[in-house]
Amino acid sequence: MPRERGEKVIATNRRAHHEYSIEKTYEAGLVLTGTEVKSLRQGRANLSDGYAYIDGGQAYLDAVHIPEYSQGHWTNHSAKRTRKLLLHKEEIVKLSHAVSAGGYTLIPLKLYFSDGRAKVEIGVAKGKHEWDKRQTLRERQDKREAERAMRSRNRLGE
């Protein structure tokens, strides 16, 4: 019986949705050391430079910054070490086929605790061009303006 219930988000990669179009997402467990878990429980992590890759039938997460635990000593971990991802074999095969097809990469989207266990949400992503980013921003701005106009019209009672 886990002590914690529900989901507690530690870090999100907000830049990922701007830089990439996310095709599909997967939930993966993480192999962590004790000081990494303690540092994550303090709510400290950075996913912005992180990426995942498949090597030899195993999935790994690289360049995710989990700072050293403040009360740790010689047993502390290195901040940007490579961490193994826990996925089912079928999921690893699907991910490796998607990446080897070309143009796709694996990006960490969210790092969180689910019922006391550290999880990471991995997205199969394709990089956006500059005009894609501008178009997305324009669509979001148009939607916001339309909602504003509808709200003001409803307030006036027309």
Nearest alpha carbon to residue 95 among 59, 140, 69, 130: 59
Task: Please state the pTM of the whole predicted model.
Answer: 0.82
Q: What is the DSSP annotation of 117-132?
A: EEEEEEEEEEEPPHHH
Q: How far apart are CA 37 and CA 87, in angstroms?
A: 19
Q: What pLDDT is recorded for position 70?
A: 80
Assess contact for 13 and 22: CB atoms under 8 A: no
pLDDT 10s digits, 69-89: 887 777 777 778 899 999 999
Nearest alpha carbon to residue 114 among 2, 6, 21, 10: 6
pLDDT 10s digits, 54-74: 999 999 999 999 998 887 777
Low-confidence ranges of the chain (pLDDT < 50): none
